[in-house]
Structure 1
C-alpha cells in the first residue's frame, strides 16, 4: 500500500489539513507560469524602463515563474487597427494574464504584489 503523497490532496501524518492546504496552494502559486506582455514602441524610453523593472522583479527568488513577451504596438497595429487605437496613447502597456495592469510606468512593489496575488483557474 502506498503512502499519501504531497500531490494527492491528503495531509501527511501530523499535519493539520488546513496547514497542508495552505502549503499546497502556495506551492501551486509558485509553479504556475504568469504571462506578462509589454506593448511597446521602438525608441520608447518608458518602454525600456518598464521592461527593466519587469525583468528585475521577475528574477527575484520569491516571485512566481514569469513568461515575458514584448510586442511592438506599431507592428501589431498594422494588422489590428483596433489594438493600435486602444493602446496608442498609453504605451507602454503592461498586461498580466490577459488583464491590463499598468500604463506608462509600474512601481516594482506594485508588480510584486500583482504577481503574488492568488490566481484563479487551474495552475
Structure 2
C-alpha cells in the first residue's frame, strides 16, 4: 500500500521540519503513512516546487505549501479518496 500523503521538502528547511512534524502527527492519528521526497534530489522537482517547499500532496493532488494546516490535512485523509474530495483552501 502506498502512502496517501507525500511531503516534498529539502534538508535544512525549518518550514519543512515543522510540516514534517504536523504530517507525521496527523497521519499517525488517522492511521495513514506518508512519504517524504527531497526536491534537491531531482531537477524537475526543484524547478516545480523549489520556491514553495514544503509542499504536501494527498492522494496525488497538491494540498498545501509552505505550511500544513492539521485540520485540513485530517479532513482530507478522513474523506473517501474514491470520491475525489479535496477540502477548499
Find the aligned partners of 1:88 and 1:34 in 2 and give their Cα distance.
Answer: 22
Give the superposed CA RMSD: 1.8
Instruction: Report the structure number with the largest CA radius of gyration.
Output: 1
Q: Which runs of 5+ in 1 are unaligned?
A: 1-31
Q: Structure 1: which 4+ aligned runs deviate by more than 4 Å?
A: none
How many pairs align? 83
**Cα deviation, residue 97, structure 1:** 1.3
Write out per-residue CA displacement over residues 67-89 of structure 1, whole angstroms, 9 at most, x where no aligned residue. 21111101122xxx3x3211111
Equivalent position to 2:35, from 52, 58, 69 = 69
Q: Is this contact kept in 2: 1:34–1:115, CA < 8 A?
A: no
> Which structure exhibits the higher relative contact order, with contacts defined as CA atoms closer than 8 Å and separated by 6 or more residues?
2
Find the aligned partners of 1:57 and 1:107 in 2 and give their Cα distance.
Answer: 10
Equivalent position to 1:46, from 3, 12, 15 = 15
Distance 1:71 1:34, change over 3 A: closer
Q: Which runs of 5+ in 2 are unaligned?
A: 84-89
Q: Note if 1:109 corresponds to 2:71.
A: yes
